[in-house]
Each structure stands twice: as structure tokens, then as C-alpha cells.
């Protein structure tokens, strides 16, 4: 956002002095560890980026909802105050108000009055919004005339709604312009990006992005495996924060939205090597095409202003999809708790009265973006034999499991407390099952068995999942089992929809009837 001055992540002049004083020569060979000064700088920037930002798409969506709600509630208020005391209730009023409010938002959208650049200048977007509002009232008046229902509506009510709508849209646009400027300054509304690469290619890319009017990209630093001679520590005023190994750790700790690879498309081997390492992150990954002489069709690109990017990976379940999935989780988990509370109460009593120890067993597992989350289960083992690290997987006839634990594990009743994890927000109802942090097959951790294993953590883990309803449930005692589970989890991530979540939820109770691998 060229005209908005964001709070800086670092002081460029002080940074240059620090890097100059800490440099004793060129950096080591590619992949070598970075200086302590660089690592401290990366930690400092990551600490400033822990809070989630909101994409322009989310902000615009909220504005649509706000203006729809305002027009609807305003008209209903006028109806309740003026019309209803004089006339009997008529369904035609609420129906017309609903249709009119939806039509207004649709026409405002058609007039391009929901574009973020336009929203920054309220008078520029207000004219379009008011024309769309006038067209809404005109269309409704014409419709009422041809349907011969005009006499059913109060003319004063229509006039009052029209004037209210004009005033409301004026205030809404002024407030939105003020809010966007403030959000641009404090980082609430931005897309945070890091550049992978360095040298002149990265410098040209940064300059082109900065020159874009109304740019919403915030560059947070660069990462490059090359040494100082080929990739200096400062490029266009931005610091190099480490190599690509450091980037993975940085992206886990900071809320980054986009990785932009500033390498020529012709460097195929190096690009593929980078993608193999970086695709496990829940981010948009773009390949900058600003220096590429080979041009594809315009629809092959996405753009930052006028800067072309090739889309390599998109973050799964993002923006409004994530909102829809969260609402889905809350509604269905509350419903499940209301239905299953007698089962949960019975399980809690059985666990407490048949063995010593707590009712709930808590275990650290991998969550979204490899963050550790504490997952709840009914305790199914003798307390003194519990294994929170899951280094030793539960096997058939395992002596550590209590008689009650054997039953609740076989029927998956032990997993029901995870419904509260869903309400808490660190699990989803449907997703890849969360594995214990130290879970392993034989003597190897899962990440050592499956190439790209951490890619399953690009979404929140779930209480149930696609792998589980397809037979991959229970003990993981071979490399093939964890490979198959991961493959099914990745299929779910790439093909997610609310319909797929519903399908998995519907099939889960049926699949639980097969207890062959559950013990």
C-alpha cells in the first residue's frame, strides 16, 4: 500500500551497521549456518509477526455482510416503528427488505465498489455505491408496478428506507476508508511475504512490488542458500534472514502468507529443490515471472499489481473457507456433545472407578503448522504405565491398557473428549489425525519414513479423517501404514470441501463397527 506508512519491522540504518560490524567475511557454503546476528534479527522479526493478518478478500467480504445487515436492519427498523403500529403484519415487507438488501449488495459489487483500492478513497467509491442503491430502489419499484403490488407498501416507508440507505452507505464508506488506512499501518490488513532468492533478481522484484499503487504486500525479509558474494546480506533495503532451512523454522513461528521465489524459471533444478523443501508449509508459494522472457496466457498468472507470478501452491482452506469450516466445527461438535454426553459421563465414571489416576489423559501432538497442541482423551492405560510421548505404540493385548480402556479404545469412545479440543479451536472435526510429537514406526520417526510428512500439517488436525474411514485406523507398525495414511491425508487436503467433511462424518460411525485394527 504505497500511500500507507506501515510500522517498520526493523531500522534499515541500524541494521546495516549491525550487519557490517558482525561480518568477518563471506558467508560459508550454501546451506551453512547463518551468523548469530542474522539469527537474532530473524527472531526479532518473527516475534513481531505472530498475530494473524487478514487478507483484503476477508475485509471486503465482511464489508459486504456489514452493508447487507445495515440495509436490512434499517428497513426493518423503519417498518417496525412506522408501519407495523398502523397495519397488520404483512410478510411482503420482510420479503421485500431481504430481496432489496441482497440486490443492493449485488449491484454495488457489479459497480466495482467493493474493490480495495476504491475503498481507500471514500468519495470515489461512494458515487458508485449510491448509483447502485438508486438502481436497487428503481428496480424494486418497477417490479412492484408490473406485479401490481405497489399499493401494499407505504410510500413513506420506501422514501425513508431510500434516504436511510444513502446515509448509511455514506457513513459506511467513510468508516471503511478510515479503517483500511489504520489496518494498513498496523499490519492488520496485509499479505506478508518473504523472498526466496537474492541478488539483482530479488532487487528488481522488490522494486517492482514497492512501485505498485495500493500495494498490500509487506516484504518481511529474504532467504537464500548462496554465499555473500552471490547474495548480499541486504537487498533493496531488506535483510537476508538465513537460508532455506532457516526459512522453514521462520515460517513456523511467524504468520507469513506468501513465499515468492525470485529465481528464473530456467533454473529448474534449483526451483524443484526449493519446492521439495518448502511445499510442506501452509502458505501461498509463487514463482516470480518478472524477468522471464517466455510469456504464458494472462490467466496463467496471478498478479501483485502488475507484477506477474506463477502460482505453484495455494494455502489450503483459507479465508472464507476457513470461516465456513470453523462454523461447521462449532455447530456439529456442540450437537455431538449434546447427543453423546450420557456416553461421555458413563465413560468418565468407568475410568475413574476401575483404576487409579485422572479421567482425562493429555498428550502433546502435532497441530496446524507443526505447532504442538494438547489433545484430550479418556485415560485408557494404567497411570503408572502411561506413555505421553507415544514412543512405544499400543499393541494387541497390551498389558498397559486397562479392561475399560480396551473397550473404549476399540469403540473410539476414548476420543470423545476431543470434541472440546474442537470447541477450543486447536482441532477440527475432520482432518488428518494428530500424531504424538515423538510417534514412530519401529525405530524411526514418521517424518523420517515419509518424504513430505509435515505437509499433512498444512490444515488443522481432526477428530476423524479421510484415512480413518478408508481403513487406515489403529496401530502403525510398518512403514507402509504411515505412508498410506499420509497419502490419504494429503488427498483430503487437496480435495477439501464441506461436502467431503459431511461425508466423512456420516461414514465415521459406520466404519467404527470394524474394530479389527483398534486396540
Side-chain-side CA neighbours of residue 35 (13 Å)? 18
Burial bucket for residue 190 (CB in 10 Å: 0-12, 13-18, 19+): buried
Asked which of 261-275, 356-370, 483-497 is least confident by mean pLDDT, the reply is 261-275
pLDDT in tens, 156-179: 999 999 999 999 999 999 998 888
| Nearest of 256, 242, 240, 246 to residue 202 by alpha carbon | 240
pLDDT, greater one: 131 or 386: 131
pTM above 0.85, yes or no: no
| Average pLDDT in the chain | 82
3-state SS assignment for residue 195: strand
3-state SS assignment for residue 217: strand
pLDDT in tens, 405-454: 889 888 888 899 999 999 999 999 999 998 887 777 777 788 888 888 88
pLDDT in tens, 249-269: 888 888 888 888 887 666 677
Phi, psi of 88 (to 5 degrees): -70, 155
**CATH number of this structure's domain 27-33+44-52+190-313, picked from the four choices 3.30.420.480, 3.40.50.300, 3.40.50.20, 2.40.50.150:** 3.40.50.20
- Residue 144, Cβ neighbours under 10 Å: how many? 17
pLDDT, greater one: 397 or 214: 397
What is the number of helices (H) and of strands (E) in the chain?
17, 14
Average pLDDT rounded to a whole number, residues 136-145: 91
pLDDT, greater one: 36 or 132: 132
pLDDT at 13 over 60: no
Cβ proximity of 218 and 6 under 8 Å: yes
pLDDT in tens, 295-316: 555 555 677 767 778 888 888 8
Task: List the chain domain ranges.
Answer: 27-33+44-52+190-313, 56-186, 319-511
Dist. CA 166–CA 125, nearest whole Å: 13
pLDDT in tens, 186-206: 667 778 888 888 778 888 888
Give the pLDDT band (50/70/90) at residue 342.
very high
H-helix or E-strand spanning residue 286: strand 284-288
pLDDT in tens, 109-128: 998 888 777 777 777 788 88
Side-chain-side CA neighbours of residue 29 (13 Å)? 0
Dist. CA 217–CA 239, nearest whole Å: 16
Task: Give the rounded distance of the alpha carbon of 93 from its chain centre.
Answer: 39
pLDDT in tens, 457-478: 899 999 999 988 888 877 777 7
**Size (the chain), residues:** 519
Amino acid at each position: 500500500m504505497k500511500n500507507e506508512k506501515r510500522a517498520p519491522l526493523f531500522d534499515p540504518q541500524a541494521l546495516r551497521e549491525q550487519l557490517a560490524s558482525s561480518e568477518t567475511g563471506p558467508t560459508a557454503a550454501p546451506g551453512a549456518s547463518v551468523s548469530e546476528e542474522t539469527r537474532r534479527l530473524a527472531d526479532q522479526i518473527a516475534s513481531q509477526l505472530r498475530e494473524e493478518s487478514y487478507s483484503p478478500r476477508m475485509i471486503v467480504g465482511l464489508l459486504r455482510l456489514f452493508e447487507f445487515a445495515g440495509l436490512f436492519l434499517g428497513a426493518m427498523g423503519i417498518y417496525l416503528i412506522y408501519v407495523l403500529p398502523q397495519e397488520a403484519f404483512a410478510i411482503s415487507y420482510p420479503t421485500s427488505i431481504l430481496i432489496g438488501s441482497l440486490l443492493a449488495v449485488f449491484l454495488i459489487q457489479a459497480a466495482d465498489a467493493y474493490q480495495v483500492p476504491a475503498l481507500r478513497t471514500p468519495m470515489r467509491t461512494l458515487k458508485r455505491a449510491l448509483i447502485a442503491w438508486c438502481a436497487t430502489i428503481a428496480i424494486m419499484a418497477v417490479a412492484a408496478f408490473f406485479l401490481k403490488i405497489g399499493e401494499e407498501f407505504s410510500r413513506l416507508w420506501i422514501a425513508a428506507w431510500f434516504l436511510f440507505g444513502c446515509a448509511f452507505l455514506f457513513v459506511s464508506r467513510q468508516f471503511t476508508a478510515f479503517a483500511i488506512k489504520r489496518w494498513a499501518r498496523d499490519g492488520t490488513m496485509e499479505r506478508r511475504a518473504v523472498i526466496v532468492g537474492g541478488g539483482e533478481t530479488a532487487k528488481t522484484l522488490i522494486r517492482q512490488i514497492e512501485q505498485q499503487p495500493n500495494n498490500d504486500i509487506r516484504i518481511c525479509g529474504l532467504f537464500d542458500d548462496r554465499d555473500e558474494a552471490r547474495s548480499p546480506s541486504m537487498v533493496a533495503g531488506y535483510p537476508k534472514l538465513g537460508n532455506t532451512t532457516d526459512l522453514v523454522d521462520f515460517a513456523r513461528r511467524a504468520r507469513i502468507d506468501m513465499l515468492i521465489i525470485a529465481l528464473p524459471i530456467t533454473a529448474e533444478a534449483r526451483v524443484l529443490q526449493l519446492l521439495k523443501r518448502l511445499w510442506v508449509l501452509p502458505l501461498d508459494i509463487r514463482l516470480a515471472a518478472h524477468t522471464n522472457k517466455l510469456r504464458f496466457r494472462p490467466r496463467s498468472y496471478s498478479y501483485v499489481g502488475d507484477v506477474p507470478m506463477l502460482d505453484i501452491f495455494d494455502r489450503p482452506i483459507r479465508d472464507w473457507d476457513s470461516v465456513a469450516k470453523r462454523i461447521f466445527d462449532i455447530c456439529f461438535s456442540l450437537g455431538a456433545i449434546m447427543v453423546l454426553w450420557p456416553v461421555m459421563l458413563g465413560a468418565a465414571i468407568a475410568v475413574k472407578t476401575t483404576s487409579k489416576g485422572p479421567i482425562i489423559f493429555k498428550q502433546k501432538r502435532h497441530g496446524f503448522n507443526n505447532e504442538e497442541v494438547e489433545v484430550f482423551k479418556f485415560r485408557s492405560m494404567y497411570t503408572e504405565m502411561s506413555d505421553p510421548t507415544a514412543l512405544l505404540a499400543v499393541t494387541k493385548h497390551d498389558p498397559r491398557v486397562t479392561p475399560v480402556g480396551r473397550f473404549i479404545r476399540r469403540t473410539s469412545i476414548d476420543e470423545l473428549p476431543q470434541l472440546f479440543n474442537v470447541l477450543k479451536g486447536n482441532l477440527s472435526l475432520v482432518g488428518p489425525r494428530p500424531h504424538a510429537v515423538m510417534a514412530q514406526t519401529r525405530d524411526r520417526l514418521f517424518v523420517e519414513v515419509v518424504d513430505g510428512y509435515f505437509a499433512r500439517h498444512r490444515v488443522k488436525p481432526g477428530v476423524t479423517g479421510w484415512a480413518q474411514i478408508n481403513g487406515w485406523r489403529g496401530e502403525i507398525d510398518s512403514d507402509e501404514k504411515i505412508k498410506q495414511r499420509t497419502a490419504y491425508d494429503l488427498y483430503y487436503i487437496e480435495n477439501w470441501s464441506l461436502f467431503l467433511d459431511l461425508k466423512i462424518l456420516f461414514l465415521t460411525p459406520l466404519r467404527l463397527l470394524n474394530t479389527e485394527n483398534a486396540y
